[in-house]
Amino acid sequence: MEPLTPGSAKIEYMHGLRGGVPIALGYLSVSFSVGILAMAAGLSAFQSALMSLTNVTSAGQFAGISVIAAGGAVLELILTQLIINLRYALMSLSLSQKLSEKVTLWQRLLIAFANTDEIFAVAMNHGKSLTFPYMIGLQSLPVLGWTAGTVLGAVAGQLLPRAVSNALSVALYGMFIAVVVPAAKKIRPVLWVVVIAALLSCVIYFVPLFSGISTGISIIICTMAASLIGAWLFPVEQEEEQQDACRK
């Protein structure tokens, strides 16, 4: 493959930029709730913005804010982020197979930093080899939208009445429901994993025997246990994996 010329690199970047517009708009609205929750947990607007800029992960930030609000230890926060965001490592490995050979190691690391679920889906459906300018264009607006939405939410959390702020913070829970329910309706193993995680969470929260377990450790236990039970009850056969790979 020939090196990209300045003109072709600009075209690739603009193409990626257009692909990131709808993702950025979605992130702007969702991260608004993240900003409100972060302010409620005692974080400043600057800390909230820095958290979004360096994480770009709704589930991870939601869990992290919960740990911070509960006064959890730093180790709990680290383990929670590691487990919840581990899927991004697998997604980045998959994405690397489609990257152009001209993409350097440092460029790959930069791409992996902002490899979210939605960006991964758009990139994998791209009709040709992925170049560095295209990926940076695809990721630029979503990262900006996620950070800007958090800042707006943090500022609104300071200005709006508490009742309104509490109402807006429910939007993040609605987002998770919107993500989980369709998959659970179509794929039975996903439904069972969700039910198992919910039951374990209720047991830890309501049973006095487990009252000493903190929020962060509870998230870790429920995530790991539900995932392991799901993998044991619903193993994916090698033939099914090969068929899925052929369809892609």
pLDDT, one tens digit per residue, over 74-101 is 888 888 888 888 888 888 888 888 998 8
Short-list 213, 57, 22, CA closest to 147: 57
Final residue belonging to a domain, choices 127, 142, 176: 176
The domain in which residue 191 lies consists of 187-248
Query: Same domain, yes or no, for 193 and 241?
Result: yes
Query: Same domain, yes or no, for 169 and 191?
Result: no
Query: Same domain, yes or no, for 172 and 240?
Result: no
Query: Same domain, yes or no, for 51 and 92?
Result: yes
pLDDT, one tens digit per residue, over 46-77 is 999 999 999 888 878 888 888 888 888 888 88
Domains: count for the chain: 2
Residue 128 lies in a domain: yes
Final residue belonging to a domain, choices 176, 196, 212: 176
Share of the chain above pLDDT 90, in %: 23
Which range among 28-37, 131-140, 149-158, 236-245 shows the weakest confidence by mean pLDDT? Answer: 236-245
Cα separation values, 125 from 38, 117, 248, Å: 34, 13, 9
